[in-house]
A = this chain, B = another copy of it.
Amino acid sequence: VIDGIHLHARLAALARVGAIDGGGCARLALTDADKDGRDLVVGWMRAQGLAVTVDAIGNVFAVRAGREDGPPVMTGSHIDTVRTGGRFDGNYGVLAGLEVCRAFDAAGLVTRHPLCVAFFTNEEGARFQPDMMGSLVHAGGLSLQEAYAATDTSGLRLGDELERIGYRGRAAPGTIRPRAFVELHIEQGPVLEEAGRTIGAVTGVQGISWHEFVVSGTAAHAGTTPMRLRHDAGYVAAAAATYVRQLTHDMGGAQVGTVGVSELRPNLINVIANHARFTVDLRNTDEALLRQAEQRTFAAIDSVAQAEGAAVERRRLARFEPVVFDAAMVAHVERVARAHGHDPMRLPSGAGHDAQMMARLCPTAMIFVPSVTGLSHNVAEYTAPADLEAGAAVLLDVLLELAQA
């Protein structure tokens, strides 16, 4: 059985690394704080007697031997956070995986297949794009060269930062091919809480479209320049953000859209901006609708820029189609949850997850536990201790059955 006290203690210890006001964490991928978090978790892995491998993209795999060699059953998630991150996003799934190993150790249990607990590099995509990068490279969806070339907003290269913090490992990505992958994660949305359920059996992950837009207008005087002569890059950015909001209303349903990054230059009160950079995050569970949302957004931004006499450049930062998880795996999660006395709920994931990349390699599932008021990517992100323990207990039995099969 899961040692809940130990799980909470480790979550608290990891949350102290990169802690920020309000109880949250800032451990952006490949920063010093990320290195410190990695060192802490790798230390725990080693102390538990697991065999640790670091691959060339910095993914970390901790293997508990089985009676047979061969592909392991894998679980895990990520430990990087956004700049205003909570303490459970990602971390929970990794540390719960380690608790499953501890529970097996305590029971003197050797499973048939090896069990592997992984954490993947740069899942959040907050510093380097695309998100889910480590698992994407592992699944062969992105080359090491492309991944290393990603830069943050200060121009630092991912490859250099990985080397700097000492996590450019020797193993070739993708070497460890699991038999099955299960990721335990907080929901990060309000659905389970609103439905009063403890366990979610995740059916898949919605499609994700990330684009960056750079608008070039003309710097000019805010007082002397008639409205008809303006080429205001800031106005184009503002109109894009209000358009995205309107689009989500018009499309309704599952369509969400966010402008999370927006920056002007020279960013002075009496100067019309000659430069704007902003991002658009669009998501939908339906690929055709997501494409429609993209096309409408691109067309709207092009047309407002043209009317303003400003140039706009678009760059794709990430694009993943919706993913549907293996039906047998989803049913397996449901069955175990019911055996634990829960009334599990099927739901798609609103957030991207490493599981969606692993689904390219093997049968994959996810287990969700509720997020209070659906809050995540916020320092106030919270899940009740009892729910964290319930999710870990379900994970244990889901993994046990897969590892003994």
Assess the A261–B256 pair: CB atoms within 8 A: no
Q: Which residues of A contact B (CB under 8 A)?
A: 82-84, 124-126, 129, 131, 187-190, 206, 208, 210, 212, 218-227, 229, 232, 234-235, 237-242, 245, 248-249, 256-264, 266-274, 279, 281, 283, 317, 349-352, 374-379
CB–CB A220/B262 < 8 A: no
A-B contact pairs, 7 of them (CB 8 A): A82-B271, A219-B379, A222-B258, A225-B350, A234-B241, A261-B267, A270-B377
Q: How far is the CA of A219 from the CA of B228 in the complex (A)?
A: 36
Residues of B within 8 A of A378 (CB): 218-221, 274
Among residues of B, the one whose C-beta sits closest to the C-beta of A276 is B262
Quick check: A274 and B376 within 8 Å, CB to CB? no
- B245→A235 contact, CB < 8 A: yes
CA gap between A245 and B266 in the complex, in Å: 19
In the complex, A248→B208 CA distance in Å?
37
Cβ of A264 and Cβ of B264 under 8 Å apart?
no
Expressed in whole angstroms, the minimum distance between the Cβ of A250 and any Cβ of chain B is 11
9 A-B pairs with the lowest CB-CB distances in the bound complex, closest first: A224-B350, A189-B224, A238-B241, A222-B258, A219-B378, A83-B266, A238-B238, A221-B376, A188-B224
Bound-state CA distance A262–B238 (Å) is: 9
- 6 extra interface residue pairs, beta carbon distance < 8 Å, beyond A220-B374, A242-B242, A258-B270: A82-B266, A84-B268, A220-B375, A221-B377, A223-B351, A262-B267
